[in-house]
Amino acid sequence: MVFKVTWYNTNKTVVLQQYEGEATKDDLYEMAKESARLLNSVSHKVHLIVDERKMDNVLNTSDMRFLEKLVPPNQGAVVVLVPDHRLRYKEVVHNMGHKIAPKAFVDETIFASTLEEARQYLKEAHNIEFDDTSVE
């Protein structure tokens, strides 16, 4: 498996999605299904940190529609980790995706370059508490 989907704090208010190698579209789909399974296991809002720093797949409209169908109603903010040189591209894809799949490409999508930036955003914007062990 080239991805990992885990709870990122003991309160189960953040899920961390990470790629650990070269990912295919099938890996993307499986990761989205696993993430949805975790979110569906609780009733409260859950925010996502999606680490795409090692992933370079290009999404098409079919991919976006597939992801849209998987979004649980309790999904909150999405913080996407991207390398600085891919930031503008990811913003363009997000804007296009928001028109096609607004639940998958939520308004509150934030781009960050480190896990610490993502944690800081969720702490400040949503009062999320992280355990000391939740580090990069």
Q: Taking 70 as the threshold, does the pLDDT of residue 135 lie above it? A: no
What is the percentage of the chain residues whose pLDDT exceeds 70? 97
Q: What does the pLDDT read at residue 133?
A: 58
Q: What does the pLDDT read at residue 65?
A: 96
Q: Taking 70 as the threshold, does the pLDDT of residue 131 lie above it? A: yes
What is the percentage of the chain residues whose pLDDT exceeds 90? 85
Adjacent-strand bridge partners of 14: 47
What are the chain's domains?
Answer: 3-126 (3.30.750.24)
pTM: 0.93
Mean pLDDT of 93-112: 95
Burial class (CB in 10 A: 0-12, 13-18, 19+), 28: buried
Lowest mean pLDDT among 22-26, 72-76, 98-102, 105-109: 22-26
**b/e code 4-14 from CB counts within 10 Å (16+ = b):** ebebbbeeebb
Q: What does the pLDDT read at residue 58?
A: 84
